[in-house]
Amino acid sequence: LSSTSWPSAMSSLEPTLPVTAPAKAWAATKHGDNIRRIRDTAPSVLLAHEVAFILPHQRQSENSRKPTGSLLAARAPLNPSDVDSSSAAQRNTTAGTLWGTSIALGLLTVSGAGLAGQARGRWRRIRRKAHGRVVQPPLPPWMDPRVKVIDITPKKKPANIPDWPSQQSSTYEHPAALALEQVLTADSLRTLCTKMAAAAGTVAPAAIASDRSRKSIMNADLTVRCLLRYGELRHTAGDDLQLSDFSGMCGTGLQALLRKCKEYKKEVLAAVSEREEDVVKIIKAFQDQSELVSNHKNLFREMIEQAIPEILRRRREPLPGLFNVLEVYGDIQLTFLYEAAKDGALKARRKEFDDGQIFEMTERWVVRARAGSLGVILANKVRAVALVVAGIDLSLSDEQRTKLFAMTIWGSALEMTPEMELMEGQVENGLFLRRDPLEISILVQSLAAQPGVSPDIFTLFGVPLKNAVAAEPSRAREAMARLHPPPDETKEKTPNWRLIRRRIKEQNLKPGQELLPIREPKKEEPKPTNSQAVTALTFTLSNLSLFYAQSAPCRDLEFVLRHWSESSSENRRRLEMSIRSVYNGLLPRLEISSCSGAKGAALEPGALARAGVHLAALGISWHKLERIVEWLLEQPAGWVADTVYLEDAKQRAAKGWSIAYRERVQRERCNTVETFVKQNLPKLAYLWPESTESLPRLTDVQSIFRLVGPPPTADDAPREVDLAADRLASRYTSQLPVPKLAAEAKLVLRNLCLRGDDAPPLSAALAPFLLEAARSCAESVACPDDAQEKGDISRSVELLSRAFKGESLSLQASEWALSPLAGAAELERRTAISTIASSCAADGAPENLMIVTCNAWLNDGAVPGTLGRKFAYAALDAWERDGVRAKGLDSLRNATDWLQVELTKEQAVPATLTFENSAICAAEGLRVLLDIMDGELVSTPSLNKAKDGVLSRLSAVGKAAIQDAVARSWSKALPGTSAAEIALYFELWWTGVMARHSMVEQLASSAISDLRWRLQCRVTATFGSSIEPGCHPAWRLEGNNRVTWFAPESLVQEAFRNSQDWEPAPISGFLGSKRAGDFAQQKHGGRCVYCGSNHNIQARLFWPLELGGTESETNLLAACQCCIELSERLGPEKWSEALAAEPSEAAEVWWRAQKLANMTLNGRVVQGLA
């Protein structure tokens, strides 16, 4: 070697560092690895330490051989000062030694193969000579441990190296390792692979391993440098390898390199952790060595995985090429694809790809995952990749896009359910290609009900769903109207307080006691709902609703909102976000100056008004809809607030009022605006009716005209709302069959707005025209069918014309005839009411009652469907005024009969449901009142219904009459009760002081106490003090029948007079149960409450079921068989008389029966003696 070759020698140690002169060299250890860096100053130093040499030795006898050298040569940089002080003789000696070393290396290389063969042969010969003894064969010369070791580690600190280590350790190098270091700078990949094969073994030098432990020839540093150098030279000009070379020594070198990388995996991974470019080179270098890659896949996996983030971040390598290179690495390609998808690089660098390449690569991995070729973790990565790829806007064919959506459904869940398999089949059959928004929305909503579905799929399917909605508007309205998100079962449910209160009452709990659980039959538990999926679906539907509200026709939007408002409350709660999105999407469309302009034509005013009403029904505050009113009236923003709230904002700001006051003012403003919008927005919808048949009431029409304002002058351009008001006035007045009257009426209606708040009611202005038209029709001058429009006015004209002719009218027809005259003048009202009353009197209605009824109904605003109730109120007032027993009761009976006949007979004009329900309730209340006054038994439920209905209008006179009548009838039906006691409790219940069930319990308890007291009085009056306390007679014989001991003979004879016609009442249900019998006996001490007997005790109800009693324990009493039979034979009224008799009568009955029994017995005795 010459002094000019020092840069090459220097490069061989660290090829990645640039060579600078003068170089600094010294040998040091870094992280336990023998990493050298040249920091010396003179090239001559390299001649002394850069080349390792082998000292020759002479073969000696086995007894005299001593270690004189070593296969390893110590290499360490010399101190420059020591080098300068050396003599020329020493340099000559060193040069000669180097020449000898070069010759020895050459000879060793030439004879390497022969020495190896000789060693194997010698080994076999020695083993044959051993005769079974274990003899260690001699090592080959290049592995002989008994060789001198030359340590040339510098001992003196160089002056120009400040961080020289305090303690130096010797560094030993194998010749093969030195040779490998030298070829690292060579541009020949074949030479590098060959040298790696030579340095693949291990060695045990005596100098550093006296126990002959094996040491690797290649250390970690050298392994890393070889790996990096191989990746640098592969597929470049220095790549002189042929395909056949990989099966020879070069392949052995590569295998050795990968084994060393596996051995030093920690060091290798640490060295390449921040060198992503070198990792890419290594990946490309081994892409054609599939067998080596499969054998060391874990090493490559860890190396590539730790470099993926940097590779994706720096963007120096195109991703398509990397994916192609990684194809030979198997699932490592999937890991790289997953990281690229998760990091967003796949979507951000989409332009680098061919769309078909991404799809094909994803499809290939999905097929493998669904076939079960991948593990669980890798299959989940494939699912994630499928979801990300589906979210990229790829230019694919219809077939490819269909497959991609099907793969997305598979990738959205960890486990495919049968329902999801059906959905996947629908997608494969072209569901998304048909672009039917209804089918797609049903599919998306059904996915949310599946367990474990990824929320990302709803964001992905939201795009094709939105495109389908935009492509098919006719089907989009159906899809939007049928939005029914699944419930979120994870949310806490609201307790059913109604059920809890009922259970507390059933268990008779007191404050502080716990509610006992009720054992209910096990029901099949519903499948748990994925809360995250439901939330994601809610956001997707919200975005879809926002898009639909911004682009859909207003009529379709009204259709959707109407269906939402008619759905269940639970579904409206789930659609809360979608409703708000519709409102937010509708507001920007109102930011135009006029609804009559070209831009405003996209919004239909009537549909917009009805949509606003539906939004309010769905939960949007009315004050938020003020902009819709302003848009319909073509007023500037803020007009509604300034109209209804006259407080001056500038004055408030000038006075500097407090924040609390301003907040109060703001709340007041919102309340007034809300009231205004709530009253007027539904009315404005009538200006642009949905159909020609719908017309508002006259009161609403007047409010509309006042809101619209006076008609425009000739100089002003008419607004759309003015034109609509004119059309509405024309439609109303065209209902008059006389054209002249119609034209005059229209002019009057529209000019009413000029008079402002002082204008009379619209009905008052229209009433003269209406009555004149009715008279014309009655006189056959005009025909009702000549009217151009059909509505309330035309119907009223027809019915009034019939009344003028003397024809009879029903109660419903009377209501329709009078409805347009609610605010008419007194003269027109009196004429119409007298005509209607006369017409109804032809069918038997009280004419006076009809006049009172019609006047009261018109004075109350002519509420539709309430004329029948007003008639009942008038009948009650007449009953109380004329007397509750004589004339008043007869008039009440006649009015009730006529009202019931009106409800049963078929009418020429069918009644509305509201009118029919109101009239039926009124007739039932009047019939209950008549039954009470006639002395019939009326149950408590019927009384309660009548009390809450028409009987709630009774005065003190009517209440007292009902109270007395009910007390008399109930006292006869409830043995042991008195009329005065019943009247007391009835009054408490009627006035609301006591509940109905409390009244029943109190009456039962009081009656049973009274029966016990009366029984004790009978016993005392009959036996005095001669009977023991607690003892009572059981029964007595009356003929051959056992009867109650105190029952009079006359009642007994009357009870058993027709004994063949009587049958005992059947006992079943609660009364026949053992629980009821045990409770009744325990409650009354095992004795009858009527007679005190303990013979054959049974449970009976005190308050009969016919009167509203219940089968409960509080309504039970104990009675003997004799009292039960006698009470059933006599009936409740006669039995009550027997119980109410004086105690002295009971004593007379008993002793008379005893006397008769004694006489009978004496007669039989005398007869027997004779």
Tens digits of per-residue pLDDT, 637-655? 888 888 777 655 545 555 5
Cβ-contact 682, 701 below 8 angstroms: no
23: left (phi over 0), alpha (psi -120 to 50) or beta: beta
| CA separation for the pair 1138, 1132 (Å, rounded) | 10
Residue 25, pLDDT above cutoff 70: no
According to the model, what pLDDT value does residue 749 have? Answer: 76
Q: How many helices (H) and strands (E) does the chain have?
A: 54, 10
Element at 335 (helix H, strand E): helix 331-343
Percent of the chain with pLDDT over 90: 7
Which residue reads 């009459």 in tokens? 961
Q: 413 has which bridge partners?
A: 453
Exposed, middle or buried: residue 987 (CB in 10 Å: 0-12, 13-18, 19+)? middle
For residue 564, pLDDT over 90 is answered with yes
- Out of 80-84, 488-492, 882-886, the most confident range is 882-886
- 728, 686 Cβ separation under 8 angstroms: yes
φ, ψ (nearest 5 deg) of residue 264: -105, 45
Cα–Cα distance for residue pair 163/374, rounded to 1 Å: 54
The number of beta carbons lying within 10 Å of the beta carbon of residue 393 is 9
- Residue carrying the six token digits 């600094």: 24
CA distances from 132 to 129, 525, 537, 778 (A): 8, 79, 82, 145
| Mean pLDDT rounded to a whole number for the chain | 76
Q: Which DSSP category does 838 fall into?
A: H
The pair of structure tokens assigned to 600 is 């405003």
Q: Is residue 509's pLDDT more than 90?
A: no
Q: What's residue 131's pLDDT?
A: 42
- The predicted pLDDT at position 914 comes to 67
Between residues 55 and 858, the one the model is more confident about: 858
pLDDT recorded at residue 583? 93
| 3-state secondary structure at position 1023 | helix
Lowest mean pLDDT of 69-73, 574-578, 720-724, 954-958, name the range: 69-73
**Does 546 have pLDDT greater than 90?**
yes
Q: Are 387 and 410 in contact (CB under 8 A)?
A: no
pLDDT at 51: 32
Contacts 24+ apart (CB under 8 A), 1028-1035: 1032/1087, 1032/1091, 1032/1092, 1032/1093, 1033/1091, 1033/1092, 1033/1093, 1033/1150, 1034/1091, 1034/1093, 1034/1094, 1034/1095, 1034/1120, 1035/1091, 1035/1093, 1035/1095, 1035/1120, 1035/1122
| pLDDT score recorded for residue 116 | 43
Query: What is the residue-wise DSSP string for 727-749?
Result: HHHHHHHTTSSSHHHHHHHHHHH
Phi, psi of 1101 (to 5 degrees): -90, 130
> What is the reported pLDDT for 66?
35
List the alpha helices (DSSP H) in 371-417. 376-390, 398-411
Higher per-residue pLDDT: 838 or 1033: 838
Q: Of 573, 342, 583, 574, whose CA–CA distance to 448 is shortest?
A: 574
Q: Do the Cβ atoms of 838 and 825 come closer than 8 Å?
A: no
Q: For the chain, what is the largest distance between any 2 Cα atoms, rounded to a whole number of angstroms? A: 183
Overall pTM > 0.85: no
pLDDT beyond 70 at 72: no
Closest CA to 1046 of 976, 1113, 1130, 1143: 1143
Band of residue 769 on the pLDDT scale cut at 50, 70, 90: confident
Average pLDDT over residues 935-939: 86
pLDDT (0 to 100) of residue 492? 47
Of the candidate ranges 67-76, 135-144, 511-520, the one whose mean pLDDT is the lowest: 67-76
Average pLDDT (423-437) is 89
Contact 296, 256 (CB under 8 A): no
| Cα–Cα dist 1135/1011, whole Å | 13
Tokens 């789930």, residue located: 574
Count how many Cα atoms sit within 13 Å of the Cα of residue 426 in the half-sphere of its side chain. Answer: 20
Angle made by CA atoms 237, 240, 243, in degrees to the nearest 5: 125
Can you tell me the distance from the alpha carbon of 299 to that of 303, in angstroms, rounded to the nearest whole number?
6
Give the containing element (helix H, strand E) for 1038: strand 1036-1038
Dist. CA 559–CA 577, nearest whole Å: 18
User: Is pLDDT at 150 greater than 90 in this prediction?
Assistant: no
Q: Distance of alpha carbon 767 from its chain centroid, rounded?
A: 56
CA torsion 661-666-671-676 (nearest 10°) is: 130
CA–CA dist 283, 307 (Å, integer): 11
Residues 945-1004 have pLDDT tens digits of 888 888 888 888 888 999 999 888 888 888 878 888 888 888 888 888 888 888 888 888
So what's the pLDDT on residue 1038?
79
**Residue 351 to residue 1145: CA distance in whole angstroms:** 116
- Of the two residues 670 and 1068, the one the predictor is more confident about is 670
Euclidean distance between CA atoms 541 and 531, whole angstroms: 15
d(CA 722, CA 535): 46
Q: Which of 890, 899, 1115 is nearest to 1001 (CA)?
A: 1115
Q: What is the pLDDT of residue 785?
A: 65
Please provide residue 275's backbone torsions phi and psi, each rounded to the nearest 5 degrees.
Answer: -125, 70
216: β partners: 202
Residue 448 has pLDDT above 90, yes or no: no
Per-residue pLDDT, 65:
34
How does residue 310 score in pLDDT terms, banded at 50, 70 and 90?
A: confident
Residues 346, 336: contact at Cβ < 8 Å? no
Task: Tell whether the model's pLDDT for residue 45 goes beyond 80.
Answer: no
Query: How many whole angstroms from its chain centre is CA 260?
Result: 58
Predicted confidence band of residue 113 (pLDDT cuts 50, 70, 90): very low
Classify residue 692 by its DSSP letter. Answer: T
Which residues have C-beta within 8 Å of that of residue 1025, sequence separation ≥ 6?
none
Regarding predicted confidence, which is higher, 772 or 487? 772
- What number is the average pLDDT over the span 389-400? 86
Average pLDDT over residues 199-226: 72
SS3 490: coil
Tell me the pLDDT tens digit for each residue of 1096-1132. 888 888 888 888 887 877 788 888 988 888 888 888 8
- What is the pLDDT, as a whole number, of residue 1061? 65
Distance CA(651)–CA(642), nearest Å, equals 14
CB atoms near residue 343 (< 10 Å): 15
Rg (CA), the chain: 55
| Nearest by Cα to 602 from 616, 618, 614, 588 | 588
Query: Considering only CA atoms, which of 272, 198, 163 is closest in space to residue 228?
Result: 272
